Chain A
Amino acid sequence: MAFNLALRLCGDATEAEDICQDALLRAVKGLPAFRGDSDPSTWVYRIVVNVWKTRARKAKPLPLIDEPVERGPETPAEARDLIERALARMEPEERAVLVLRELDGRTYEEISEALEIPLGTVKSRLARARDVLAALLAPEEEKDAA
């Protein structure tokens, strides 16, 4: 769960392993301070996201391919390629909200708590991320052609 989140945030397996290791160390150190007010998984998410944010400041951005897309994917490989392109077009914070919502099924409140952002920001970042995703995976032209 934490690994998948880290992997989707940074896009690199080795980097994701490092993020998880750092997060594990922080979690162990911070365990005495954890009061159990929130879901432990949300707490772990927050640590993973914080570690990733710290590292992301120094990291290279994902490769951006800015070609227009005229039709949706026809094969799983095409879908995976377009997903990578969509993620590269998003701001890291938008990517984080999208991953937590769509891949982990977190509620708006849980995302708000994990990323330490207001509920309204969760909604706006999610809307922007979904907009980018739809532009590549389900472009409007496809609807017109159907």
Chain B
Amino acid sequence: MPHELDKIALGAHIDGRGTPETASHVASCEECRGYVERVKKASALFRQHGKKTPPTEKKKSSSRFEWLVITATAAFIVLASGITLKKFMPGLFSQIQGAISGAAADLTK
């Protein structure tokens, strides 16, 4: 016999909080059982596809990370170049210093 579905009671049944009366009714009523199955299926799809990820936050943090890596790499290259030049061309720094001093002396004349 057709009847109005008590969707609140069926919801409680789905969440494992229904009464024994609801459980036995669902077991014997095709209409209510069909509704419960549809709601369970829809809820499962919602749980599976309903979550959204924060794309902007991820992009920001990834961009920040990239800049940190670039800055660290650049600092390392400058440092390594300085050490190498000093080691293999020890006269270079005194030559540069001499050139700067000479230019400064010319300016004060």
A and B co-occur in one complex: yes
Chain A residues within CB distance 8 Å of chain B: 3-4, 7-8, 13-14, 16-17, 72-73, 76, 79-80, 83, 86, 98-99, 101-103, 108, 123-124, 126-128, 130-131, 133-134, 136-140, 143
By DSSP majority rule, is chain B's interface helix, strand, loop, or mixed? helix
Chain B residues within CB distance 8 Å of chain A: 7-8, 10-12, 14-15, 17, 34-35, 37-39, 41-43, 45-52, 54-57
A-B CB contact pairs (8 Å), 9 listed: A3-B57, A13-B54, A16-B54, A79-B45, A108-B15, A130-B39, A140-B34, A140-B38, A143-B38
A71 to B72, CA, bound (A): 55
Whether the pair B45, A83 counts as a contact (CB closer than 8 A) is yes
Whether the pair B34, A17 counts as a contact (CB closer than 8 A) is no
Whether the pair B43, A102 counts as a contact (CB closer than 8 A) is yes
Write the chain A residue with the least CB distance to B50: A83
Smallest CB separation, A111 vs chain B (Å): 11
Contacts of A137 in B (CB 8 A): 41-42, 45-46
Smallest CB separation, B82 vs chain A (Å): 43
By DSSP majority rule, is chain A's interface helix, strand, loop, or mixed? helix
Smallest CB separation, B8 vs chain A (Å): 5
Whether the pair B11, A130 counts as a contact (CB closer than 8 A) is yes
A8 CB contact (under 8 Å) in B39, B43, B52, B55: B52
Instruction: List 4 additional A-B contacts (Cβ < 8 Å) besides A7-B54, A130-B11.
Output: A4-B54, A102-B43, A124-B8, A137-B46
Contacts of B8 in A (CB 8 A): 123-124, 127
Smallest CB separation, B56 vs chain A (Å): 5
Whether the pair B54, A133 counts as a contact (CB closer than 8 A) is no
Whether the pair A102, B56 counts as a contact (CB closer than 8 A) is no
Whether the pair A103, B47 counts as a contact (CB closer than 8 A) is yes
Known contacts A108-B17, A123-B12, A127-B8, A138 near B41 by CB under 8 Å: yes
Whether the pair A17, B57 counts as a contact (CB closer than 8 A) is yes
A135 to B10, CA, bound (A): 16
Whether the pair A73, B50 counts as a contact (CB closer than 8 A) is no
A76 to B14, CA, bound (A): 24
Smallest CB separation, A137 vs chain B (Å): 4
